[in-house]
Structure 1
């Protein structure tokens, strides 16, 4: 479901989601949050879609929260789903951020909420909230220290200074670093690669990773066993084993 502020395009089994407010550097207001939440619902509900790619229009990912809209009383959050309708949403399908230009504040947090990040080498990632008397409450202060070494995360959070896409790759924040203008194409290639794998297995990986974070290993293994029991009973597991034995590509049904 495309809206004025968020466009969607089906490319094979991938849903390309584009934040489309270039006049405001794709800053997130209430309409963008609503549109993005609807796009994510479309991704989740359609079994023909295997992965999503999130990007921004006209060479900018997102400048974050629309401060002018916020001053007018608009909320960039969706209750229960977080900033932009994404940062607190637990998707079962993989979501890849394709970052060109600025990913600042909430824009950076949208990227952090994705499973993979493709960054243009000249992109700019930053959490400047402290410069405005705020904190990166859309997941920045929570997720960034989980993704890169503590002191490097604290430098970004406490100074508010940005890093380039190239530096993001060096820090391990970006899975791929591309020339400017190529992130969407590379992200779509990654999505195609993910789509070759069993959808139930991809969903299980995401669920187990979330359940294992910050808990003792025995607790994590107990949670994994529960999900693995369900997975092993699926038709896709049998199909995967049969296809391997028959030396053919598996035909996943998601059941």
Structure 2
């Protein structure tokens, strides 16, 4: 059976499930490859307007597969080019929602941070424990984490390997919203359904400008925002959205 399952539970919504329950959904090479392949395809599929990424009740993803890493050398690791697979996930133009139950440790925490929105269960567990096995986060953990929670919390998490609950992740700003464990997937799918009903061009521009502007000087970021805002006035969806508002009816967005 595939180690990443693809479902289409709702109109316009794709659901990706990591499917290695025997290994707590640890991210081996095949899982990373399949995730990147799916994200690449879904990113260009016009029928997909939002993507939900999840694991199971026990684990979102409990880190990288240590068995796959323990004996390799630096050159072999470099030649694997894993960063290209992670980049494909990060650069997916569709909005990605991570639905996190259970363990999101190491690479699993980093994978969740590749998403645009994180829905966490109250008892989910986030951690960057790499230091305990003699290494450090290597898939964006030091960089995305500090941008999410700030320097002092990020340093504490990465240097102590301290796990935090979903509730604590929400308080820190690592999770977008926190819900009871049993409601995580349904909450993420409801959110995806809401986003899927929005104008796709506007959603794509919001994601692109937010991500590009985070590391740019404010004036540059504001220029990116302004140009994207202006460009959307060339879309049919802008005309439809404003006309529907004035006519007091639901808009029918085409992504054009």
Match of 2:28 in 1: 29
State how 1:82-121 maps to structure 2 within 5 Å: 82=86, 86=89, 89-121=90-122
Residue 78 (structure 2) pairs with residue 80 (structure 1): no
Deviation at 1:231, TM superposition (A): 1.7
Identify unmatched segments of 5+ residues in structure 1: none
CA distance in 2, matches of 1:214, 1:39: 27
Deviation at 1:92, TM superposition (A): 1.6
CA distance in 2, matches of 1:125, 1:235: 42
SS of 1:82's equivalent in the other structure is helix
Aligned residue pair count:
250
Q: Is the 8 A contact 2:120 2:177 kept in 1?
A: yes
State how 1:138-177 maps to structure 2 within 5 Å: 138-177=139-178
SS of 2:195's equivalent in the other structure is helix
Q: Is the 8 A contact 1:22 1:58 kept in 2?
A: no
Residue 18 (structure 2) pairs with residue 19 (structure 1): yes
- Deviates further, 25-34 or 228-237: 228-237
Task: List per-residue Cα deviations over 1:125-150 (Å, max 9, x = no partner).
Answer: 00011111211121110011111132
- Deviates further, 238-247 or 223-232: 223-232
- Deviates further, 34-43 or 44-53: 34-43
Deviation at 1:52, TM superposition (A): 0.7
Q: Is the 8 A contact 2:51 2:192 kept in 1?
A: yes
CA distance in 2, matches of 1:21, 1:251: 39
- Structure number with higher helix proportion: 2
Deviation at 1:79, TM superposition (A): 5.1
Task: List per-residue Cα deviations over 1:87-119 (Å, max 9, x = no partner).
Answer: xx3122111111111000000001111111111
Residue 78 to residue 130, structure 1, CA distance change in 2 (3 Å): closer
Q: Is the 8 A contact 2:33 2:85 kept in 1?
A: no
Deviation at 1:32, TM superposition (A): 0.5
CA distance in 2, matches of 1:178, 1:36: 25
Residue 14 (structure 2) pairs with residue 5 (structure 1): no
The root-mean-square deviation of aligned C-alpha atoms, in Å, is: 1.9
Q: Is the 8 A contact 1:30 1:77 kept in 2?
A: no
CA distance in 2, matches of 1:198, 1:91: 17
| TM-score (normalizing by structure 1) | 0.91
- Deviates further, 180-189 or 34-43: 34-43
SS of 1:45's equivalent in the other structure is coil
SS of 2:97's equivalent in the other structure is strand
Residue 106 to residue 77, structure 1, CA distance change in 2 (3 Å): farther
